[in-house]
Amino acid sequence: MVRLRLAFIAVIGIHSVAVAQTAVERGSYLVNTIMTCGNCHTPKGPLAAVAGKDFSGGLTWDEPPFKVTAPNITQDKETGIGNWTEAQIKTMLLTGKNPHGIQEAEIMPTAFYPILTPGDLDGIVAYMRTLTPVKNKVPDPVYKIALPHHVFPGAEKSYSQADLNDKLKRGFYLATIGHCMECHTPFAPPGGRDFNNSLGKGGAEFPGPWGISKSRNITSSKTAGIGDWTDTEIKTAITQGKRKDGTPLKGPMGYAYYAKMSDTDLDAVIAYLRTVPAKE
């Protein structure tokens, strides 16, 4: 009887591996959680995303070197990316170059995506192919200078699936494709985020319906960062937008997206954040 039970458990274990996430399911999970793609690419009303317009274009940034609007990434052939090939989508994600060979603004966090595992990259593209076509023409981008492409330190090389079995590597991977340090690292002259000296120090300003919010120090500093926060407090901040004292945090951080992450992934991200060198 014991052997039969063990055999049954083994079969169940094998079956669970066999029915692991499909490519589309994995892509959907990443796009709709840690990567928060809809946070920028979905039009917003006064209070929330516009119903039925998911991924059809969204926020606008008017900066000295450029003025861009997050484009329509649905499968609409006229106003979206329905005519893009799989290779063109991957090139955009990994290099920031669109099908016309133009380097797009790093507001789109392509500098963080070269770390994507081949399987996750395939899954993201597969999921994007399922997005309902929505006809919505956004303004064409305006580039006043040739834009650079800076790859985030540590993201230069694609991770393997085996890398994700290591908790700290998994946390770094998720925080990277989630481009956490894009917002939580200040600029340094003459331009670009100061990843070398101020990684995670916070201080970048983000105007929006919430007013003006400033990104928080998320280094391991116990005085200025989150070094004295418990794992539960960090998780609550990430998924519910609440400070240690329970007061609400402002946007544009995608709390609702992170709330759909698995506990395993959240724990890995927190474990990685514990390793970020303290900055005052």
pLDDT digits (tens, 9 = 90+) for 203-258: 988 887 778 889 999 999 999 999 999 999 999 999 999 999 999 998 889 999 99
Inform me whether the pLDDT recorded for 18 exceeds 50.
Answer: no
pLDDT digits (tens, 9 = 90+) for 101-122: 999 998 999 999 999 999 999 9
Per-residue pLDDT band at 52 (split at 50, 70, 90):
confident
Inform me whether the pLDDT recorded for 30 exceeds 90.
Answer: yes
Lookup: tokens for 108: 């789109």
* Cα gap 17→261, rounded to integer Å: 20
The sign of the torsion formed by the CA atoms of 153, 107, 175, 128 equals negative
Tell me what pLDDT residue 205 has: 87
Inform me whether the pLDDT recorded for 8 exceeds 70.
Answer: no
Of 12-16, 41-45, 181-185, least confident by mean pLDDT is: 12-16
| pTM score, whole prediction | 0.90
Are 224 and 218 a contacting pair, CB within 8 Å?
A: no
For the chain, give the mean pLDDT.
Answer: 90
Tell me what pLDDT residue 45 has: 57
Task: Give the list of residues 6+ apart from residue 107 with CB closer than 8 angstroms, or none.
Answer: 40, 61, 63, 68, 70
Per-residue pLDDT band at 50 (split at 50, 70, 90):
low
Neighbours of 34 (CB within 10 A): 24
Percent of the chain at pLDDT exceeding 70: 90
Per-residue pLDDT band at 134 (split at 50, 70, 90):
very high
Tell me what pLDDT residue 16 has: 40
Inform me whether the pLDDT recorded for 7 exceeds 60.
Answer: no
